[in-house]
Structure 1
Amino acid sequence: MENLSIRSLKEGYEKKLFSPVEITKMYLERIHLFQDLNAYITITENLALQQAEIAEKKYVANEAVGTLEGIPLSYKDNLNTKGIRTTSGSKIDENNIPKKDAGVVRILQREGAIHLGKVNMHEFAFGITSNNPFYGPVKNPWNNEYSPGGSSGGSGAAVAASLSVASIGTDTAGSIRIPAASCGVIGLKPTHGLVDASGVKHISWTLDHIGPLTKNIDDLAIMIEAMTGINYSTRLTEDIRGLRIGVPKNYFNEGIDESTATFYKKALKDFESLGAILIEIDIPYSLEDLALSFAIGLSEAGFVHEESILSELDSYGLDVKASLENSHSIPAIDYIKALKRKDQLTSQFERLFETVDVIATPTTPITPQKIGEEIVEINGIQDSVFNTMIRLPAVFNLTSQPALSIPCGAAENGLPVGLQLAAARFNERVLIRAGFSYEQAFLQSFYEKRNRISELAIEKK
């Protein structure tokens, strides 16, 4: 039952086939069973069972009206949770007990979601490996020697290993989509501002997004409905005939490893077989523009962390400390120029989406790397794992447009490969439509393989 969808769980509750308490206990047992993945920092067992009992009484009385009534979720640990430790993966905030829930947490709790706990992450969301120096590295369920991506690595691992039905993460330069691709699940970075971002320990208010990670597109549609109050389930159609898919001739097809490129090209052909129209497009973006993300992100992070930088800089992990030390050295003129270019890029991409409905790219140029690896080589060229992994997803943080990562296969090393779909601002519906059609036609065997991974791990135990 750990692989049942949100819709199936709710139907089971309504028909009294099983109860929210039984399902919640099952997820809590799995969390303890898979502690070696290090997906959770804080498990809220008592709270979860209390909420499950309330949901169960509602179903018995036929009064369950919440979109997520009785559905067990996890939250990235930089989302404030009232009365529950919220560390942001940091030693600095290890004793931080918020007095209020983050906006999105409050909304989902109101919709009946059950709170399983707070998941591990890269410290203060400042990286893409989730190799946390204080709470230990999150491990990839597909292979425990590998990173699950980041910074929402705990969310990706928890969903892939069925340690929560879905999870809420944050994304500054790919931090939802990178773990989604790395762990073989679905991850959506919604349009900037679509989801309530209050009560979150941000890196950058300009680039940060809050979004869901789920096992399938149906769950994704329900989650984003609950988060926004907008109906997305009507877009769950397998008919995408005539959908215009933009295929980049530059940037997104550069510096990609051979295995990822192969799966990407196959996914494009798969879409074409479903009736989509492939259109080659020129991308108005370059590596120089990628540097804008650093100028904006680090400038705003320096402001967010100003007090801690002055009083306890040595308490940060080494990689985060190095970033924050440089945050105050960025000239104001560079920050302003970056914001201006950001607006220009957003307009240019919006015009591009007048000619295509969706842009399809690899989510990341490579599959996940081993925990602790910091340098990668692609086609004879070396770069940091960080720069490599954010190169493709970070584009749509800068343009504020929605972007979805969906699995498109597993490489020879056994690790998942992600496909990124992006659309015009506030057009999440077309991403759900395209993703659902592709999923229904081509991902069922992949999902079966993903479901077997955690069961094989149980057998080994």
Structure 2
Amino acid sequence: MLSIKDLLEGYRIREFSPVEVTKEYLQRAKRAESLNAFIEITEETAMYQAEIAEARWSMGQAGKLEGIPLSYKDNIYVKGIPATSGSIIDRQFVPTENAPVIQDLQNEGAVMIGKTNMHEFAFGITNNNPFYGPARNPWNLDYISGGSSGGSAVSVAANLSAASIGTDTGGSIRIPASCCGLIGLKPTHGLINNSGTTLISWSLDHIGPIAKNTTDLAFVMEAMTDTSYSCDNTSLKGWRIGVPSNYFTERMEPKIEEVYRNTLNKLEKLGALLIEVEIPHVEEASSITFSLAVAEAGYVHKEKIARHLEKYGEDVKAVMESSSSIRAIDYISALRRKELITADFNRLFNEIDMIVTPTLPALPKPIGEEVVQISGEPEHLFNCLIRYTSYFNLTGHPAISIPAGLTDEKLPVGVQFVGGRLSEQRLISAAAAFEKHYLEDFFDMREEQTLNFQKT
């Protein structure tokens, strides 16, 4: 399948056109109904935008993503298109304006293939949606895609869109990216304007891209931030990579640990120096993150809770009901602790260039399975899968999940690179170096998986 770079080059030399490519993506999206990646395929809008893109190419006015088919998570507002946020409560909600990120992408010529399936109101990690059904993992249709941006990841992994835009409150870009074998970036908090979305938490929510490879990710980031990102790095010589001595190397499934240790060895072979670091205050971070998310979600949803509480799915309803129990003093204390933890964590980057952790402690699980066993101890799947990701929502630091291995059962395993504030270029460079040396075989297997699915 063609990358974003290949598509743009093909348009430039008129090997094919945005209209032809968009038609092909729409056809694939409609044929892939069993994956349930989309809440709505926006065919009329896509063809209209593709025709504009074709005209702009012919006039020499092409934008950074002119004619590139993207998908958008359904809590991100697109003017005139319903934004259900995966809930029946907002089924009739039609935004009258584009979210700033959508406007930026449209200005650069992106074509919208559709709005993607998601965990209801983004408050979950399985994407097992009670109203629209689960978005299914293309590697195994009986397994979760991860959430809450699960449909976004599925649409990219199955080549139903060239890339997708998701949101991330506690891991909701990186979790599905890891589950589906993709690159997912949660940028520095505030780098990309998160207004024009149905938020969970303004303190924790991030908007970011999911893509097949680092070059595609860089193209999308350039369109979103008006900043150039290079993927030319082939070495990590002299890089100081922090390896956590606590928390992020504890309580994980054996296959995850095996892939993680192999990744560290590979990074050393690329010239990196591994340095053991202790991550500060990590044991208290999850409770602080949860307090902020639930309190702010309760405020965002206060009118819906008052009018439509019984219409929420059971898991999200329980969260909304609990939001009123968080006291003002606890919320303010959580905000204060957030500032202190962020400052302490940020000091680590005086001594290191980035930190490497597993993205998830466990592999993707069958749809409907809500408890995971690690070393014989049960843990709720939600708590498990956000364990290594949510800390960086609290601190707001950029984090990228990249594929690093595949189990014998053909389930992807991701690792997470975390950098200092506004170090997106550094993270993309590191991911690009790892990709160039170690991911070619993985990408071939992912491509084969996509082709096999499309034949069925």
Band the TM-score falls in, shorter-chain normalisation: over 0.9
Matching residue of 2:310:
314
Residue 363 of structure 1 deviates from its aligned partner by 0.3
Provide the C-alpha distance between the structure 2 equivalents of 1:386 and 1:345, rounded to a whole number of angstroms. Answer: 23
Matching residue of 2:33:
35
Match of 1:405 among 376, 401, 404: 401
**Residue pair 1:248, 1:283 contacting (<8 A) in 2 also:** yes
**Residue pair 2:77, 2:98 contacting (<8 A) in 1 also:** yes
More off after superposition, 388-397 vs 276-285: 276-285
Query: Are 1:302 and 2:307 counterparts?
Result: no
SS in 2 for 1:206: coil
Provide the C-alpha distance between the structure 2 equivalents of 1:276 and 1:96, rounded to a whole number of angstroms. Answer: 50
Residue 263 of structure 1 deviates from its aligned partner by 0.2
Residue 275 of structure 1 deviates from its aligned partner by 0.5
Provide the C-alpha distance between the structure 2 equivalents of 1:68 and 1:196, rounded to a whole number of angstroms. Answer: 19
Provide the C-alpha distance between the structure 1 equivalents of 2:341 and 2:25, rounded to a whole number of angstroms. Answer: 43
Provide the C-alpha distance between the structure 2 equivalents of 1:34 and 1:287, rounded to a whole number of angstroms. Answer: 42
Matching residue of 1:158:
155
Residues 137-177 of structure 1 show CA distances to partners (whole Å, capped at 9, x for unaligned) of 11000000000000000011011000100000000000000
Matching residue of 1:351:
347
Query: Are 1:428 and 2:424 counterparts?
Result: yes
Query: Are 1:293 and 2:289 counterparts?
Result: yes
Match of 1:194 among 191, 194, 202: 191
5 Å matches for 1:194-273?
194-233=191-230, 235-273=231-269
5 Å matches for 1:79-158?
79-158=76-155
Matching residue of 2:319:
323
Provide the C-alpha distance between the structure 2 equivalents of 1:133 and 1:112, rounded to a whole number of angstroms. Answer: 34
- The residue type equivalent to 2:210 in the other structure is L
Residues 92-112 of structure 1 show CA distances to partners (whole Å, capped at 9, x for unaligned) of 000111100111001100110
Match of 2:387 among 358, 374, 391: 391
Matching residue of 2:413:
417
Provide the C-alpha distance between the structure 2 equivalents of 1:249 and 1:242, rounded to a whole number of angstroms. Answer: 21
Structure 2: segments with no counterpart, 5+ residues: none
Residues 226-274 of structure 1 show CA distances to partners (whole Å, capped at 9, x for unaligned) of 10111112x5311221111100111100111100000000001001001
Percent identity of the aligned residues? 53
Matching residue of 2:24:
26
- The residue type equivalent to 2:403 in the other structure is P
Provide the C-alpha distance between the structure 2 equivalents of 1:180 and 1:206, rounded to a whole number of angstroms. Answer: 22
- The residue type equivalent to 1:161 in the other structure is A
Provide the C-alpha distance between the structure 2 equivalents of 1:111 and 1:376, rounded to a whole number of angstroms. Answer: 43
Query: Are 1:453 and 2:449 counterparts?
Result: yes
- The residue type equivalent to 2:198 in the other structure is K
SS in 2 for 1:53: helix
Provide the C-alpha distance between the structure 2 equivalents of 1:108 and 1:60, rounded to a whole number of angstroms. Answer: 20
Residue 412 of structure 1 deviates from its aligned partner by 2.5
**Residue pair 1:260, 1:417 contacting (<8 A) in 2 also:** yes
Residue 287 of structure 1 deviates from its aligned partner by 2.9
- The residue type equivalent to 2:374 in the other structure is I
SS in 1 for 2:22: helix
Provide the C-alpha distance between the structure 2 equivalents of 1:151 and 1:115, rounded to a whole number of angstroms. Answer: 20
5 Å matches for 1:44-55?
44-55=42-53
Matching residue of 2:372:
376
Query: Are 1:7 and 2:16 counterparts?
Result: no
SS in 1 for 2:141: coil
Residues 253-304 of structure 1 show CA distances to partners (whole Å, capped at 9, x for unaligned) of 0111100000000001001001011111111133322111110000000000
Residue 116 of structure 1 deviates from its aligned partner by 0.7
Provide the C-alpha distance between the structure 2 equivalents of 1:61 and 1:337, rounded to a whole number of angstroms. Answer: 56
Residue 340 of structure 1 deviates from its aligned partner by 1.0
Provide the C-alpha distance between the structure 2 equivalents of 1:354 and 1:428, rounded to a whole number of angstroms. Answer: 17
- The residue type equivalent to 2:351 in the other structure is T
Provide the C-alpha distance between the structure 2 equivalents of 1:408 and 1:458, rounded to a whole number of angstroms. Answer: 24
**Residue pair 1:236, 1:432 contacting (<8 A) in 2 also:** no
Structure 1: segments with no counterpart, 5+ residues: none
SS in 2 for 1:418: strand
- The residue type equivalent to 1:4 in the other structure is L
Normalised by the size of structure 2, how large is the TM-score?
0.99
SS in 1 for 2:209: strand
Aligned structure 1 segments of 4 or more residues deviating by more than 3 angstroms: none
SS in 2 for 1:408: strand
- The residue type equivalent to 1:224 in the other structure is M
Residue 58 of structure 1 deviates from its aligned partner by 1.9
Residue 331 of structure 1 deviates from its aligned partner by 1.2
| Count of residue correspondences | 456
- The residue type equivalent to 1:188 in the other structure is L
SS in 2 for 1:201: coil
**Residue pair 2:282, 2:391 contacting (<8 A) in 1 also:** no
Residues 317-337 of structure 1 show CA distances to partners (whole Å, capped at 9, x for unaligned) of 000000110001011111111
